[in-house]
Amino acid sequence: MTNPVLHSLESRPAETSAAGKCTERLDIPCTSDLYDAIAALATVSGKNKAEYARAVLEQHAFGALGYVRARANPVA
């Protein structure tokens, strides 16, 4: 599995998303190895862990093409 490519144009405040305001939370237990990997990947991407994890989950749930299109043409 490859790491998702996260472009700087996809960065946004933690409380919002192209789909709207982020009002729900996920509490996901994980191993320390996964936690460390996410933290490292987030750092390399210039994001905090939550922003990085949200971007990865959005890409997985909504598809990479739809994800990039949503960031390129946000709904007002």
The number of folded domains in the chain is 1
Is 33 contained in some domain?
no
Is 61 contained in some domain?
yes
Domain hosting residue 60, numbered range: 47-76
Is 35 contained in some domain?
no
**Per-residue pLDDT tens for 16-53?**
566 678 899 999 999 999 999 999 999 999 999 999 99
Name 62's Cβ contacts closer than 8 Å, sequence gap at least 6: 70
Is 42 contained in some domain?
no
Is 6 contained in some domain?
no
Between 76 and 36, the higher pLDDT residue: 36
22 neighbors 54 (Cβ within 8 angstroms)? yes
Q: Which residue has the tokens 């320390």?
A: 32
Residue 23 sits at φ, ψ, to 5 deg, of -115, -10
Question: What was the pLDDT predicted at 26?
Answer: 92
Residue 7 CA to residue 55 CA, distance in Å, equals: 10
